[in-house]
A and B are shown apart, each in its own frame.
Chain A
Amino acid sequence: MREAALPPPRRHGRLVVRLLLLAAAFFGFGFALVPLYDTLCAAIGFNGKTLKDAIAAKDLPPSAINYQRKLGVQFTSTLMPGLPWEIRPLEPAIEIHPGELRTTRFLVRNLSDQTIVGQAVPSVTPTVAARHFRKLDCFCFTQQTLAPGESREMALTFIVDGDIGDEISELTLAYAFFPAPKDPG
């Protein structure tokens, strides 16, 4: 048996502070994921999210319309619970050429006797096609207010850009119409 020399008492303060900082950093990381996720989804088209903002005609790639190729585009729409509306695409399916500017319309009608605000949320399938689906104008960019019994044709102007992959011959744009959140964010 030998007496070990007494070591200086270990202080845990620095380690504890570092570990707390690590925990705080990952709390922040959770919140950082919100914009990060949005950016990722928009950049690679995860979840079929289309680009949020309109592009102006002058920003369009000057690619010529590719008349050699045809793309089927289908439109569908769903109403989320709590929205007493009716919505349907006036053209359920169309054929376009990549690079061609097109406008299509949706008929939306308020079935209730109250003024209601709605917000449409788009999604594109297959998801990889989402970032090639460029909207110049869309009723989904803003909230839509319909008076009691009012019906309105809502327009979507879009272009499917020319560099969309050859493996895609058909894509679907689905709108989900939500009751607008009370406090628009």
Chain B
Amino acid sequence: MNTATHTLDPHGAHAAAPTGILRWLTTTNHKDIGTMYMTFSLLMFFVGGAMILAVRAELFQPGLQLMKPEFFNQLIGVHALVMIFAALMPAATGFANWMIPLMIGAPDMALPRLNNWGFWLLPPAAILLTLPFVLALFGIGDGAVATGWTLYAPLSVQGGIGVDFAIFAIHILGVSSIMGSINIIATILNMRAPGMTLMQMPLFCWGWLVTAVLLIITLPVLAGGVTMLLTDRHFGTHFFDAAGGGDPILFQHLFWFFGHPEVYILLLPVWGLMPHVLSTFTRKPIYGHTAQVWSFIAIGVLGLVVWAHHFLTAGLPVPALLYFMYSTMSISLPLAVLFFCWIATMWRGAMSFETPMLFAVGFIVLFGIAGLTGLVLADVAADAQYHHSYFVVAHFHYALFTGGIMGVMTGVYYWLPKWTGHMYSEKLGKLHFWLTVVSFNLTFMPQFFLGLAGMPRRIPDYALQFAEFNAISTVGSFILGLSQLIFAYNIWRCVKGGEKASNTVWEGTSGLEWELSSPPPHHSWETQPVIKA
């Protein structure tokens, strides 16, 4: 790899940048915007976490202790929407903003102003989602959306103003995500350093490229679906009203046409960053770069055609059941390729276990459990028993907490020294990891057993035989929630100061982003590097 000059100079004219709050409101710098995304995500992670801790507190014992069932229903739905749309997706977009230009040798994102707008749509959307809680305190409306995050009709057609707030929040979040995706695709396709072919492009960028395409394909369908919901609620249409010739099951199709690819939208950026971390801490090149690229693409394509496995019990005809079962199970093939590539990258490497590596290995083990239990759920015969039980709750938290959030934590610990120029506290990082892993399993492993024993999800009260596992799960969830304060404190400390990080930060890094200083200058790669094959 040879660095040569190759000037784009997109920043020529704005030497006099505003300071203070105006800087953040008007910034078009990919690093500033990435930082805002990450900060917003961390904040909403705690908001969504506080909601679910209230839920777990209610579930500590059978019976109703702390809240009315209506409020319980609002908490679980908004928890999911906040965690998915306001915590996990912005975290991935924050990574993309920070790292894609650095990794491909571009001076900034392709559409910097759109980038700024994309971020600043998020806070209003988050406010819309949570405002009905506050309004209810003043006697306006009956609280936030209480349908669960899936907004199934006809319940959502009958729901209170919280549903309308959620619909508009989804519209705004959708616009923001689509703008972000267009920006990322344009950056990746048009602004790679001269000589960097698509196939040579780092895997993190590949994961994001597939994610961005999935977002552009599926989010508009969700937007359409919730728009129909809105017109059903207020304008006399009957898209989901059986008496008017509509069909409530249609909503499930529209929702999950988006909802299933959404799982991969959340996970692909993490799968993309994992090989970089594994390669760094085993001091070996990534195994199977090309195989992983094609696995990403295969999972993206397959992910678009398996949506109905989320409602296998809704009364689909047998041929459809068989199709959705086999197509769902077939996703485990490209996913297995990824797992083998990750393991092969580690194979006989000179491994060391700094915090990012701990999280990466923890991710592989726990995310594997998500994959295996997913196979069980995809089985039509078994799903009849497990559907809508706590088994499903445990399964998708193994997928989205360990696959998604622990993946994001891997990336944060891995790149934080690059972003801030300081090392975080390794001691606190390791403490955070062990507390997280142990308490996560303490929280969610019992939920598998609860589901197998027949406890349905989304209920505030339950039969006495479920009491012990629920108590364990609640204790675990509080340890899990409180351990995240260590994470926040460690980030805060690292931003404020600490041991100076070198350019390469870690011993085994490779890639353009590590050739820049830590932290990188405000404007980087204004002279694009030239990649020689």
Give CA–CA (A178, B7) in the complex, Å: 68
Interface residues of A in 85-127 (CB under 8 A from B): 119, 121, 127
Q: In chain A between 1 and 59, which residues have their CB closer than 8 angstroms to a CB of chain B?
A: 1-4, 6-7, 9-10, 12, 15-16, 19-20, 22-31, 33-34, 37-38, 41, 44-49, 52
Given the known inter-chain contacts A12-B186, A23-B219, A26-B218, please indicate yes or no for A121 contacting B249, CB distance below 8 A: no
Question: Which one of B243, B257, B318 contacts A178 once the chains associate, using CB atoms below 8 Å?
Answer: B243
Q: In the complex, which of the residues A22, A33, A127, A178 contacts B315, with contact meaning CB atoms closer than 8 Å? A: A127
Q: CB < 8 Å: which of A7, A12, A19, A128 contacts B317?
A: A128
> A27 touching B221 by the CB < 8 A rule?
yes
Chain A residues positioned under 8 Å from B530 (CB to CB): 4
* B464 touches A (CB below 8 Å): no
Q: Which chain B residues lie closer than 8 Å to A41 at the CB level?
A: 247
| A-B Cβ contacts below 8 A, count | 125
Query: Is the CB of B224 closer than 8 A to any CB of chain A?
Result: yes
Asked if A1 contacts B238 (CB within 8 A), the reply is no
Task: Give A53 to B241 CA distance when docked, in angstroms.
Answer: 18
B242 touches A46 (CB 8 A): no
Q: A27-B223, A178-B243 are in contact. Are A46 and B316 (CB under 8 A)?
A: yes
Contact indicator A121/B243 (Cβ below 8 Å): yes
Q: Is B19 an interface residue (CB 8 A)?
A: no
The answer to the question of B53 belonging to the interface, with a C-beta cut-off of 8 Å to chain A, is no
Q: A184 an interface residue at 8 Å Cβ cutoff?
A: yes
| Given A19-B216, A22-B216, A183-B236, A30 contacting B225 (CB threshold 8 A) | yes
Chain B count of residues within 8 A CB distance of the other chain: 50
Cβ of B4 under 8 Å from chain A? yes
CA distance A41 to B236 in the complex (A): 23
Chain B residues numbered 1-16 whose CB sits less than 8 Å from any CB in chain A: 3-8
- The answer, yes or no, to whether B220 is at the interface (CB within 8 Å) is yes
Write the nearest CB–CB distance from A168 to chain B, whole angstroms: 13
Q: How far is the CA of A171 from the CA of B239 in the complex (A)?
A: 28
Q: Does B325 contact A (CB under 8 A)?
A: no
Whether A16 pairs with B250 at a CB distance below 8 angstroms is no
User: Chain B residues in contact with chain A, CB under 8 A?
Assistant: 3-8, 110-111, 178, 181-182, 185-186, 189-191, 194, 216-225, 228, 236-239, 241-245, 247, 249-250, 253-254, 257, 315-318, 320, 528, 530
Interface contacts beyond A30-B221, A46-B317: sample of 17 additional A-B pairs, CB < 8 Å, sorted by A: A7-B194, A12-B186, A16-B111, A23-B178, A23-B219, A24-B220, A26-B217, A28-B224, A29-B224, A30-B222, A30-B257, A34-B239, A37-B247, A38-B247, A47-B249, A181-B241, A181-B244
6 tightest A-B contacts by CB?
A: A30-B224, A178-B243, A27-B220, A183-B236, A4-B6, A30-B221
Q: List 5 A-B contacts (CB under 8 A).
A: A15-B190, A22-B217, A27-B223, A47-B247, A128-B318
